[in-house]
A and B are shown apart, each in its own frame.
Chain A
Amino acid sequence: MDAIRTALNLAYDVKESRPFWKTQGMAIGITVIGAVVVLAP
């Protein structure tokens, strides 16, 4: 997720302005939610 975020920021030609805890928390959160949505039996 963090890699996708970095790549999208590069593609949009913007620098990350959100704080570290926000970006990392978002990456972890999306990963967990995505895992639940995709993998839950």
Chain B
Amino acid sequence: MTLIALGGKAGEWLADRAGLGQVYAVVWAWSRWPITMLLIMFVTAVLYYFLPDVEQEWRFITPGSVVGTLLWLLATWAFTQYAEHFAKYDAAYGSIGGMIVAAHLALPHRADLHPGRRDQRDPRACRARRQSAGRTRGGEAPPPPEARPSAAAPGAAKQRTAAIRSHLRLLQRRKERRGGRRAPPTKSRKPRPTSILPIFPRMKETHASPDLEWIDQLWMVNVPVKLFSATSPKEVRFHMVHDKDGGRIQQKRVCSVDGEEVPWEHIVKGFEISKGATSR
């Protein structure tokens, strides 16, 4: 997001110098999304690579990262719609509303990422943009960098880019070190798993039905449920007891014709049509 936010301003400045401000605005407005996707996919790939205790090769694009990124973008878009049309964050929270929105999903939809809306809010940017547009059309040089509101952006963006690059190099070195120290992948200690959810990086085609494999995994989720009574008995309850020996009184179902006890499987329902005549 740093690159997206500041890269936009830095590129804007460069494009203005080259006299391509309008073109750049359009290109950037559209290329922001693929760049966001790549960034998120990178984060996803990092998680998939480091978190499970399995040695695997580095894969940047996996089915899982693609699906996850698309879902994330969908959620981003939906939340943007919600934040812009329904929720009145600004009215309720003032400028803190921006932080609330950012803290919810960390989405790149704040006003300072929309060129048009930034103009509405920041008069300096608005003025600078008008000036630069006029001069660009007139064939004059754009305003000097220090007059632009984003004058500090290119340096900061460069610094941050360098920091991220060095971090990437560090990751690469670490991976190389690990590759040198450990056994080659063919002699890996742990067997490669075959039963994987489709959103996870590895799916072996050798399995009988990889398409349905993930259904098994669903049953790994157990939610134990127990019912508790919310009331407690208040009155005393008595048993029926024979007064001589204290034996408990039982109830038996006895036939009125032969006097025998009748088991449940021989008891059926009947309706008394007239006195003494019952239909079964």
Contact = CB atoms under 8 A, between A and B. Distances in A.
- Physical interaction between A and B: yes
Interface of A: 1, 4-5, 8-18, 26, 30, 33-34, 37-41
Contacts of A14: 52-54, 190, 193
Nearest to A18: B53
B14 interface: no
Contacts of A38: 1, 43, 106
4 smallest beta-carbon distances between A and B, as pairs: A8-B52, A5-B51, A40-B2, A12-B193
22 contacts: A1-B47, A4-B51, A5-B51, A5-B52, A10-B220, A11-B52, A11-B196, A11-B217, A12-B193, A12-B200, A14-B54, A14-B190, A14-B193, A26-B50, A33-B167, A34-B43, A37-B2, A38-B43, A38-B106, A40-B1, A40-B2, A41-B5
Nearest to B1: A38
Question: Majority SS of interface residues in chain A?
Answer: helix
A12 B193 CA distance: 5
Interface string B35-52: 000010001001110111
In which size bucket is the chain B interface?
Answer: 20 to 34
Contacts of B54: 12, 14
Contacts of B197: 11
A9 B47 contact: no
B51 A8 contact: yes
B20 interface: no
Interface in B181-209: 190, 193, 195-197, 200, 202
Contact of B47 (A4, A15, A18, A41): A4
Contacts of A10: 220
Given A13-B193, A14-B54, A8 B48 contact: yes
A38 B193 CA distance: 31
Given A4-B47, A37-B39, 12 more contacts: A1-B47, A1-B51, A8-B51, A9-B52, A12-B54, A14-B190, A15-B53, A30-B47, A30-B50, A37-B2, A38-B1, A41-B2
A37 B3 CA distance: 9
B169 interface: no
Nearest to B156: A41
Contacts of B196: 11-12
A40 B6 CA distance: 10
A12 B220 CA distance: 13
B96 interface: no
Contacts of A4: 47, 51
B67 interface: no
A40 B196 CA distance: 34
Contacts of B50: 26, 30
